[in-house]
């Protein structure tokens, strides 16, 4: 089975990035634009980077000029715009196509793994988002109008990698259970209680205590 770690990308400065370097992280991948009605979502994306980056979230922005020609500038101009207007510190990649014959291989994979409404694969507009789990598999696809800061429940679930991660919105992709997560998941308060040494001794003496 393929994963996001099978792909490479170019940073906005042109340096190559094997996405395997993000193995074990949770990724939020977004096709961005500098002159779109959704461009202010950069604020929410940066806030997610600051809040969850230390816990393992990586936001990756991929500029794209395919929707209304709303990102016509050079990579250098786009980088400057993002830093100057939104203080973007998360990784921005080189401008790509996300649809059509020249679509980046990463986006061909993302859209195949998590189709949109009615099973359509094509990206509909700027700021479509994909949440990728620590195992490199797509969890969710979010529509452009869904604000990044509204996805904190899903992000926290992916970061926690609990024994049963349930995600709240967007087209379903995975509800996962992993051995590693199960080994670290806390025992629910309603679960069976372990018998302590003290209770064993009490039982041996024939004393019984109400629970």
- Three-state SS annotation for the chain: CCCHHHCEEEECCCCEEEHHHHCCCEEEEEEECCCCCCCCHHHHHHHHHHHHHHHCEEEEEEECCCCCCCCCCCHHHHHHHHHHHHCCCCCEECCCECCCCCECHHHHHHHHHCCCHHHCCCCCCCCCEEEECCCCCEEEEECCCCCHHHHHHHHHHHHHCCCCCCCCCCCECCCCCCHHHHHHCCCCCCCCCCCCHHHHHHHHCCCCCCC
Q: Which residues are catalytic?
A: 36
């Amino acid at each position: 089975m393929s994963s996001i770690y099978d792909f490479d990308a170019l940073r906005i400065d042109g340096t190559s990035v094997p996405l395997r370097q993000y193995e074990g992280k949770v990724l939020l991948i977004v096709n961005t634009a500098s002159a779109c009605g959704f461009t202010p979502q950069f604020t929410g994306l940066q806030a997610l980077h600051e809040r969850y980056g230390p816990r393992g979230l990586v936001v990756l922005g991929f500029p794209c000029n395919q929707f209304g020609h709303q990102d016509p500038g050079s990579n250098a101009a786009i980088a400057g715009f993002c830093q100057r207007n939104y203080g973007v510190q998360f990784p921005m990649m080189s401008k790509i196509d996300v649809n059509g014959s020249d679509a980046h291989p990463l986006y061909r994979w993302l859209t195949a793994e998590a189709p949109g409404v009615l099973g359509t694969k094509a990206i509909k507009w700027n700021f479509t988002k994909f949440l990728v789990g620590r195992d490199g598999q797509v969890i969710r696809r979010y529509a452009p109008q869904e604000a990044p800061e509204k996805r904190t429940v899903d992000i926290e679930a992916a970061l926690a990698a609990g024994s049963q991660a349930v995600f709240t919105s967007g087209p379903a992709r995975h509800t996962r259970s992993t051995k590693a997560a199960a080994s670290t998941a806390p025992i629910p308060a309603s679960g069976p209680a372990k018998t302590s040494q003290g209770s064993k001794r009490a039982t041996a003496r024939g004393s019984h205590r109400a629970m």
